Amino acid sequence: MKDTQIKKLIEAEKKRQKRVINLIASENYVSKDVLEALGSELTNKYAEGYSGKRYYGGQTFVDKIEDLCKERALKLFGLNSKKWAVNVQPLSGSPANLAVYLALVPKEGKIMGMSLDHGGHLTHGHKVSATGKFWIQVPYGVNKNTEQIDYEEIKKIAIAEKPDIIVAGYTAYPRKVDFKKFREIVDSIKHTDPNKKTYLMVDMSHFAGLVAGKALPSPFDYADVVTTTVHKTLRGPRSAMIFSKIDSREINKKIDKAVFPGLQGGPHINQIAAVAVALKEADTAVFKKYAKQIIKNADTLAKELKKLGWKIISGGTDTHLILMDTWMEGKGISGKEASDVLEKNGIIVNKNTIPNETRSPMDPSGIRLGTAAETTRGKKEKDFVLIARKIDKILRSH
Ligand code: DSN
């Protein structure tokens, strides 16, 4: 690279990534092949439209790449191409979710999603996001005592509010989600207009790799739409996909239109090629083992931290993710202080709100930890026992 300023900064970031213990729950390390696809000449190509229906010439190879990516996406999640469609053009998770609402939720319609401080995402209807400005959020949370999803409570809210869409799947919720129960809730909503139905959307961004690796239940038997990013547990490039059921409601056609021309222009073909590479890598026995190891490692980390006296939200984890209450009603340290002092000592986490947060989002009561990135680097349970002890020592000596 001739640009020495940028080259030096990339080299420095590469070294930083190697030096630290990375417990950011939404990050991972991609393969050299994924990087190669991302850094290829495909970035030079404009390809507005979809395979076979583009607005520019020269699409012979681009069409093949996008078709292959879609084929691999459906295969990885065991989906029949007559029953499910996939759009691989969303640039990342937020535009993917926005595209779904644009396609399926009427203006000022209702999005029922988990509140941000309980583990939901900004794009699940939060007021600071476009999804909360153009639509109305009907929030739900976790149970005060169990800190886990309370399906009966969700059912009550859903029946009373009759939302246009319910979103399941979260960004800081460590437990397995019962998608069947969500389907039952959606089916129990009676709209005044008998032709109207609530859609069930699952945002599996955080745990897509765990579903692909058959380490967590799949949402596809119950959802109408499934969105996901590719760069978290799925270990691909920054990107996203939208899966939709093919039926008389033509959800898939509406979503394609919402992605392009509704929200985006030309898709990033280098990114789509890199997604295709990652999807092939995930469709292997080695990846299945990896997915299971991520959960074993998270479980070990949660149990060890608990043993050392820390409060783990919901009492543990079923996934790659742990939400740790570091503040413990003033007996511990704030989430920001915890994150800062851990970083000084080479451990990277993010500060995070906890359910029924009493502090501010900039200095909340907790931190979020994830095991996917360090599992990619080969760490096992015994390593996570040591990481837990290191975290404990750093936080207590602060
Ligand atoms: N920023 C992602 C996360 O950390 O969970 C979600 O957008």
Q: Which residues of the chain have pLDDT under 50?
A: none
Q: Which of 238, 249, 292, 306 is catalytic?
A: 238
Q: Is the CB of 97 within 6 Å of ligand 1?
A: no
Q: Which of 48, 178, 250, 381 is catalytic?
A: 48
Distance 192 CA to ligand 1 centre (A): 36
Amino acid at site 228: T
pLDDT of residue 398: 81
pLDDT of residue 378: 98
Q: How far apart are CA 333 and CA 258, in angstroms?
A: 44
pLDDT of residue 343: 98
The answer to whether the predicted template modeling score (pTM) of the entire model surpasses 0.85 is yes
Which residue owns the Cα nearest ligand 1 atom 3? 26
Distance 171 CA to ligand 1 centre (A): 6
What residue ranges do the domains of the chain occupy?
A: 19-30+285-396, 34-282
- Residue 34 and residue 244 in contact, taking contact as beta carbons nearer than 8 Å: no
pLDDT of residue 210: 98
Residue 127 tokens, joined = 């007021």
- Residue 55 and residue 265 in contact, taking contact as beta carbons nearer than 8 Å: no
Residue 372 tokens, joined = 């996917």
Distance 304 CA to ligand 1 centre (A): 25
CATH of 34-282, one of 3.40.640.10, 3.40.50.300, 3.20.20.70, 3.40.50.1220: 3.40.640.10
- Binding-site residue positions for (6S)-5,6,7,8-tetrahydrofolate: 116, 120-122
Which residue owns the Cα nearest ligand 1 atom 2? 26
CATH of 19-30+285-396, one of 3.40.50.1580, 3.90.1150.10, 3.40.50.2000, 3.30.565.10: 3.90.1150.10
* Burial class of residue 152 in the structure, from the number of CB atoms within 10 Å of its CB (0-12 exposed, 13-18 middle, 19+ buried): exposed
